[in-house]
Amino acid sequence: MAEERALAMVTCTAPVNIAVIKYWGKRDNDLILPINSSLSVTLHQDQLKTTTTAAASRDFTEDRLWLNGEEADVGHPRLQACLREVRRLARKRRGGSAEDSSPLNLSYKIHIATENNFPTAAGLASSAAGYACLGFLCRRGCWALEWAAGAQGGFGCSERGVTSWFLGPKVSGEKKQVGSTAGMQTSVDTSPLLKHRAEAVVPERLALMMRHIRERDFEGFGQLTMRDSNQFHATCLDTFPPIFYLNDLSRHIIALAHRFNAHHGRTKVAYTFDAGPNTVIFTLADTVAEFVEVVRRSFPPAANGDQFVRGLPVGSASLPEELVAAVVPEPVPGAVRYILHTQPGPGPQLLDDPSQHLLGADGLPHGRP
């Protein structure tokens, strides 16, 4: 009787997280320690998620990685550090016990497949979500609300109540010209503003933001979220040579949010941008329909009217003439591809259904020879 093939496979999903107090740059690249603490909102996986399958087998001859169906470089230092940690924890768990009957050898090579249901490298934390799946196994994820700057080898994880805020107009699915890792290092090396921000600005803002969240103070949350986004992009401009993650449409949406808030006399919507041009808008449930209609009027969909708003349902809203006159500029048809309506959600989740594995029994992505 042929010996049964030793193969283990696990699949998990992880969400997108959007930083409201941002970090930019690392003070220790080996331990992946940021120059300042940060605070993020984890978005719901029903709308935005990364799915990752990892498999180990005696028949694999090398570590391999597939990203969105295409084979990618498995030699990236951060990925290799993650794989070393997986093997270290597995070795620690076994503890050298002679009674361990596991068929897997710790020297077996690993195959990994990961897929995003949102644009990769477009400022939507795709790498964070991908590593969070692996980090769910090796405790080096990047999904939690708070990442403490002094937490060696990992992240300070804390769940804090966040009211039902929402989403972002998806401006661009294009890959950004300057990746986050390279951009961070250049900023650390050249931006005096970044150093001042990390040392003097962020600690106070972080404490204030956590208070706004605990107290359910949306206006305080919204204003600080926008200020921190603006300062982050100011550090990108202070970098030499400067880094441009926002585009003209990003700036149009910023102005639109400020006009909307000014019309209402208070902060009802808040924007934030990570390292890319795509906007995330936070708002309370009673404002969603009105602001979505404002965006629709400002950037009328060119050909996908029935698919312009995706994700969670959005009700209809009629806009008063005075609001339209004060807030809606000359329309720019087709400028916004679509809006995805979501809400905060849970962290990484293990999938128990084998049919959801991204790798087949041969350790290769489904459909590949």
Coil, helix or strand for 110? strand
Residue with the two structure tokens 């609001």: 323
Coil, helix or strand for 339? strand
Cα separation, 206 vs 215, in Å, equals 14
Cα separation, 301 vs 307, in Å, equals 9
Q: Each residue of 84-114: b (16+ CB within 10 Å) or e?
A: ebbeeebeeeeeeeeeeeeeeeeebbbbbbb
Question: Are 48 and 124 a contacting pair, CB within 8 Å?
Answer: yes
Q: Which two tokens stand for residue 165?
A: 């805020």
Q: Which two tokens stand for residue 108?
A: 């077996």
- The pLDDT value recorded for residue 163 is 41
Question: Are 40 and 20 a contacting pair, CB within 8 Å?
Answer: yes
Exposed/middle/buried for residue 324 (C-beta within 10 Å: 0-12, 13-18, 19+): middle
Q: Which residues of the chain are under the pLDDT cut of 70?
A: 1-5, 86, 89-106, 119-176, 304-305, 368-369
Question: Are 65 and 72 a contacting pair, CB within 8 Å?
Answer: yes
Half-sphere exposure of 287 (CA within 13 A, CB side): 21
CATH 3.40.50.720 fits 2-154+351-356, yes or no: no
- The pLDDT value recorded for residue 15 is 86
- The pLDDT value recorded for residue 124 is 47
Question: Are 231 and 197 a contacting pair, CB within 8 Å?
Answer: yes
For residue 329, is the peptide bond before it cis, meaning its omega torsion is within 30 degrees of 0? no
Q: CATH for 158-342? A: 3.30.70.890
Question: Are 61 and 78 a contacting pair, CB within 8 Å?
Answer: no
Neighbouring-strand partners of residue 282: 270
- The pLDDT value recorded for residue 32 is 76
Name which of 271, 367, 351, 302 is nearest 54 in CA terms.
351
- DSSP line for 224-248: HHHHHHHHHHHHHHHSSS------H
Residue with the two structure tokens 């603490």: 37
Cα separation, 294 vs 257, in Å, equals 10
- The pLDDT value recorded for residue 4 is 43
Over the Cα atoms of the chain, what is R_g? Answer: 22
pLDDT tens digit string along 180-217?
889 999 999 999 999 999 999 999 999 999 999 999 99
pLDDT tens digit string along 66-81?
988 889 888 888 788 7
Q: Domain residue spans in the chain?
A: 2-154+351-356, 158-342
Q: Which two tokens stand for residue 252?
A: 């149009």
Tell me 255's DSSP state: H
